[in-house]
Amino acid sequence: MLIVDKPFEKGIILSVKETRIDMSISRKFREQVTKYLEKKPAIVVFDMHETEYLDSSALGALVTILRDVKNYGGEIRLANLNQTLKTLFKLSKLESMFKIFETVEEAAK
């Protein structure tokens, strides 16, 4: 899995270069993201435009990452979710936990 980071004034943008995040790679995903959190960016934006599918283990990884970021006073923002992922976050009631934006530009404000 490849995550490309782009620092910005208030934090970091993590572009997820994976179409599917499921049980086979969710642990690696969490481990890679955790490395970027060592500097404790105030805002962590996940650019999900290439991601088409998340399973329950991926959602669990995102919730764990959210908890870690909130513990140091940071904030997670999700951007560029396709309609399937938006529906998934709504049905799983996770849309109330995550700030979801249409674009990375909006999320990085």
Domains observed in the chain:
3-107 (3.30.750.24)
Position 61 scores a pLDDT of 96
0.85 exceeded by pTM: yes
- What pLDDT, in 10s, does the model give residues 47-102? 999 999 999 999 999 999 999 999 999 999 999 999 999 999 999 999 999 999 99
Position 18 scores a pLDDT of 94
Position 4 scores a pLDDT of 82
| pLDDT above 90 for 2 | no
Cα–Cα distances (Å) from 98 to 1, 2, 24, in that order, read 23, 22, 24
Q: Which two three-digit tokens encode residue 107?
A: 């999320």
Torsion-angle region of residue 57: left (phi > 0), alpha (psi -120 to 50) or beta? alpha
